[in-house]
């Protein structure tokens, strides 16, 4: 089959949501994935969408997708693309679709004057070698931080946040 890489359309939403859930299963976090068709459609096709998607599809067969949004670099003074999810269904891997999806996002970066295309990858994911083969490099010196759960509304409301880990500075009395 010949798969077309194209921007997502409203009729693609059910398959994209299904693939997001397949990705969550693959990443061992299916219980955390609560995405619905309604939520994705509302975000992808809003008047001024903040999230975008491309699909690899041939008629009614969907092989993969890339879901992304813009970020911004104060170092370069330009936007970039942050790839939230890249997924190719297992039966379609090895056909170059992941590379084609990434190449389309790279093309958008170049066309729009963006200087970066970046994403996170789980350390155990065998795709790291695929990404290295494309010329991507891991940002090993950076640590991802997240504020969510009870801490997010707590901080927003100015509530004290319990902190159990003393860290190296506190542990040594600094």
pLDDT digits (tens, 9 = 90+) for 47-106: 999 999 999 999 889 999 999 999 999 999 999 999 999 999 999 999 999 999 999 999
Instruction: Give tens-digit pLDDT for 156-168.
Output: 998 877 666 655 5
DSSP 144-165: -----TTHHHHHHTT-------
What pLDDT score does 146 carry?
A: 86
Instruction: Give tens-digit pLDDT for 10-29.
Output: 999 999 999 999 999 999 99
Residue 131 falls in the annotated catalytic set? yes
Instruction: Give tens-digit pLDDT for 108-148.
Output: 999 999 999 999 999 899 999 999 999 999 998 988 888 88
The domains of the chain are located at 4-141
- Name the token pair of 152: 């997010």
What pLDDT score does 161 carry?
A: 72
User: 26, 82, 131, 163: which is the annotated catalytic residue?
Assistant: 131
Distance of alpha carbon 22 from alpha carbon 171, whole angstroms: 42
Model confidence band, residue 174 (pLDDT cutoffs 50, 70, 90): very low
What's domain 4-141's superfamily in CATH? Answer: Gcn5-related N-acetyltransferase (GNAT) (3.40.630.30)
What is the DSSP secondary structure assignment for residue 28, as one 8-state letter? T
What pLDDT score does 151 carry?
A: 85
């Amino acid at each position: 089959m010949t798969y077309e890489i194209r921007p997502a359309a409203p009729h693609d939403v059910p398959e994209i949501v299904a693939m997001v859930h397949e990705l969550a299963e693959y990443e061992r976090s299916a219980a955390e994935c609560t995405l619905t068709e309604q939520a994705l459609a509302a975000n992808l096709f809003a008047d001024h969408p903040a999230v975008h998607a491309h699909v690899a599809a041939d008629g009614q067969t969907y092989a993969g997708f890339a879901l992304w949004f813009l970020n911004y670099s104060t170092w370069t003074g330009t936007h970039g693309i942050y790839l939230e999810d890249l997924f190719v269904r297992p039966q379609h891997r090895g056909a170059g679709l992941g590379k084609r999806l990434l190449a389309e996002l790279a093309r958008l970066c170049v066309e729009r004057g963006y200087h970066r295309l970046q994403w996170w990858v789980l350390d155990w994911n065998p795709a790291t070698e695929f990404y290295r083969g494309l010329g991507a490099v891991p940002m090993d010196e950076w640590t991802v931080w997240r504020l969510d759960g009870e801490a997010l509304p707590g901080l927003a409301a100015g509530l004290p946040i319990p902190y159990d880990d003393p860290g190296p500075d506190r542990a040594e009395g600094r």
